[in-house]
Structure 1
Amino acid sequence: MPGFRKLILAAICLITFIFVIRSSRPSDVPGAPGYRPVKEIFDEESDSLRESRRQTRPRGQMPFGSSPTAPLRDRLRYQFPYDLERSFPAYIWQTWKYTPASVWFEEGLRASEASWTELHPGFTHEVIPDDTQRHLIWYLYGSVPDVFEAYDSMPLAVMKADFFRYLVLLARGGIYSDIDTLALKPAHYWLPEELDRSKIGFIVGIEADPDRPDWHDWYSRRIQFCQWTIVSKPGHPILREMVAYVTEEALRMKRLGILRQGKMDKTIMEFTGPGAWTDAVFRYFNNPEYFDTRPGDKNVTYEDFSGQSIHRKVGDVVVLPITSFSPGVGQMGAGSTDDDMAFVKHNFGGTWKTDPSL
């Protein structure tokens, strides 16, 4: 019996010693009392945020936009709300087959890619490789699964690249620019100082202004907006509309069994490319939900931008002239690369044409 008591006493002393040692360790290391992994803390904060949202609505009801049965545009609006007064996020997004750290990254693209980092030292500059894009879209759009399904179902890499730029800007905002573009001036010079940034949520440039009778032989629209460089605050309605349009068209063609190369009833230009993009911008300009239009008011059309040589503000959108994102093309009124309004030079590498899936 005395031996058993001594054994119990020794065990108590050992447990007490371990407790004292562990309690003296800082709580930010694994194994310390009070330590919680970062993921656990984030999950708890997310649960807290969801709880606060739940308490602001009647018991038993879900926010309309969060319901799986809600229209797609309402779900996108709920997941990615638009706040005009916030700052433009300091992100630069680009995509390519490989990251610049890879030995396979083309040497001919290094100068253009580096120009964005050099002129924007305070920005987060991400080149998203092909094998990462899918995971990022799932991370951003897991709560809107039909969007991910549309992205994942697209048969051509060029279509996914088009769709990706709209998706990442809708969710995170910032600047998207093709990998074969060269930054000529920092982004904070792209808008005149007198413009209030809290009243601007989107910047788009004119790609083409072909004032000639055979314009349709060369371009999809009389005025065509550029999609190789886009600037936006998160959640902007133009991007929401474009994401919804592409998603709905992709899933429609998928149901019909024609979302395949050579079978689609829409060209890339009219599905994910500049034609569809230009239409989305004009739909926004003429949407009475966002603009105070009255019966008899004239619609905003290509005529409002043809021959433009300076900034043009339409609501919360700034439209840049052709010189800004297409300097040096030598036509349609575009100025040279040393013009004051020249901000981005597109090298027209035609990288999508080398896509082996085409």
Structure 2
Amino acid sequence: MITPRKILLAVFCAITFLLILRSFREPEVPGAPGYRPVKKISDEEKDALANPARKTPPQGRAQLPFGALPAAPLRERLRYQFPYEIENKFPAYIWQTWKYSPASFWFDEDLRSLEASWTEMHPGFTHEVIPDDTQQHLIKYLYGSVPDVFEAYDSLPLAVMKADFFRYLVLLARGGVYSDIDTSALRPAHTWLPEELDRTTIGLIVGIEADPDRDDWHEWYSRRLQFCQWTLVAKPGHPVLRDMVAYITEHALRMKRAGILKVGKMDKTIMEFTGPGAWTDAVFRYFNNPAYFNIQPGDKNITYEDFSHQTTHRKVGDVVVLPITSFSPGVGQMGAGDPDDPMAFVKHNFGGTAAVSTSLLRYTWE
């Protein structure tokens, strides 16, 4: 027989259960739904030094036998070290790189307002600008358990290639938002997705860089539709990032062993090795990989046609593709809107910095 006392007891138990569940949820950055607080990378390293038992393995994983791990394929070692947990919130990191730290006298004055826009738009986020002389140290720290990745990074002969590789490496290991130093934030990252999209089903956000619907597109771009990698958002361990890191590592070490990992001797251009061409291919490989998608016989591959002339968000599995306006507003071509368009989130400032010359180098170097 149901009595008022039993009803009250049931309500009390239900409320208690919900409170217990909430206590296990990741804390969230105030005013930034879907993002959780993180430590500065320097604090993380200090903690690792102070607590050696917690330094390895990263991500709280159980230690594998020492004899087994090095023999495992690279992608499996990366999967082990940086597991992908889609249900978790995006880490509240803003990652950028430059020759000098913002605290340095040598930091370019025309970059200060751009860099500051990311901090101002993201209160509560950890904003890290990693200078050139620190990148090597950070990659060695993050990838100490996967030494061939560090060897590949350390062997790359050009700074632009290391800058490309760094963004994939840091997002695979720690996640968050990466954006080039010559970009400015127009809207906070937590507003880049519609409220109705469940963040626990999304692990990667990419934007369209180019959609040249013209016969001579190949004279200007490496792909008919190209995804940009000057701004990326990811949760740690995402399979596209893992594939990209493995791809660059394998080709870098192959060319190193062959003695051709040198300027003018490599058998891949920067665009096809570390740049947007290779990145675009990695995204499409993921979309068409039966290990991640239920692809039936006769199903059509996902191609550029599925995103050409896109004007709003498009979700494919756990990836959200943003239109060209989102990361390239104001370019005046390929259907891109203005910087005040509701879908404009990041502005890439292509003038007056060395970052621009490295962007152009991707298209001109052979």
TM-score, L = length of structure 2? 0.82
Q: 2:185 aligns with which of 173, 183, 186?
A: 183
| Alignment partner, residue 53 of structure 1 | 62
2:121 is the counterpart of 1:119? yes
For the aligned residues, what is the CA RMSD? 2.2
**Alpha-carbon distance in 1 for matches of 2:167, 2:176:** 11
Deviation at 1:40, TM superposition (A): 7.2
Deviation at 1:351, TM superposition (A): 2.2
| Alignment partner, residue 43 of structure 1 | 52
**Alpha-carbon distance in 2 for matches of 1:268, 1:62:** 37
- SS of the aligned residue for 2:195 comes to coil
1:15-66, CA deviations, whole angstroms, 9 ceiling, x for partnerless residues? xxxxxxxxxxxxxxxxxxxxxx966762244579999936xxxxxx7399x6
**Alpha-carbon distance in 1 for matches of 2:327, 2:53:** 44
- SS of the aligned residue for 1:68 comes to helix
Deviation at 1:348, TM superposition (A): 1.5
**Alpha-carbon distance in 2 for matches of 1:216, 1:108:** 33
Q: 1:327 aligns with which of 310, 326, 329?
A: 329
- SS of the aligned residue for 1:194 comes to coil
Which AA in structure 2 matches 1:104?
Answer: W
Q: 2:296 aligns with which of 294, 297, 315?
A: 294
Deviation at 1:71, TM superposition (A): 0.4
| Alignment partner, residue 35 of structure 2 | none
| Alignment partner, residue 140 of structure 1 | 142
Which AA in structure 2 matches 1:128?
Answer: I
1:201-234, CA deviations, whole angstroms, 9 ceiling, x for partnerless residues? 0000000000000000000000000100000000
Which AA in structure 2 matches 1:147?
Answer: V
1:71-119, CA deviations, whole angstroms, 9 ceiling, x for partnerless residues? 0000000000000000000000000000111110001101110000000
**Alpha-carbon distance in 1 for matches of 2:113, 2:49:** 41
Any unmatched runs of 5+ in structure 2? 1-45
| Alignment partner, residue 244 of structure 2 | 242
Matched pairs, number: 314
**Alpha-carbon distance in 1 for matches of 2:271, 2:126:** 30
Mapping 1:19-168, distance limit 5 Å: 42-45=51-54, 53=62, 62=65, 67-168=69-170
Whether contact under 8 Å (2:59, 2:82) holds in the other structure is no
Any unmatched runs of 5+ in structure 1? 1-36, 55-60
2:307 is the counterpart of 1:305? yes
**Alpha-carbon distance in 2 for matches of 1:49, 1:99:** 27
52 and 264 in structure 1: CA distance in 2 versus 1, 3 angstrom threshold: closer
Which one has a bigger Cα radius of gyration? 1
**Alpha-carbon distance in 2 for matches of 1:152, 1:39:** 23
2:336 is the counterpart of 1:315? no
- SS of the aligned residue for 1:227 comes to coil
- SS of the aligned residue for 1:126 comes to strand
318 and 354 in structure 1: CA distance in 2 versus 1, 3 angstrom threshold: closer
40 and 257 in structure 1: CA distance in 2 versus 1, 3 angstrom threshold: closer
287 and 170 in structure 1: CA distance in 2 versus 1, 3 angstrom threshold: same
- SS of the aligned residue for 2:70 comes to coil
| Alignment partner, residue 338 of structure 2 | 336
**Alpha-carbon distance in 1 for matches of 2:100, 2:305:** 41
Deviation at 1:188, TM superposition (A): 1.1
| Alignment partner, residue 270 of structure 1 | 272
40 and 113 in structure 1: CA distance in 2 versus 1, 3 angstrom threshold: closer
Which AA in structure 2 matches 1:339?
Answer: D
230 and 219 in structure 1: CA distance in 2 versus 1, 3 angstrom threshold: same
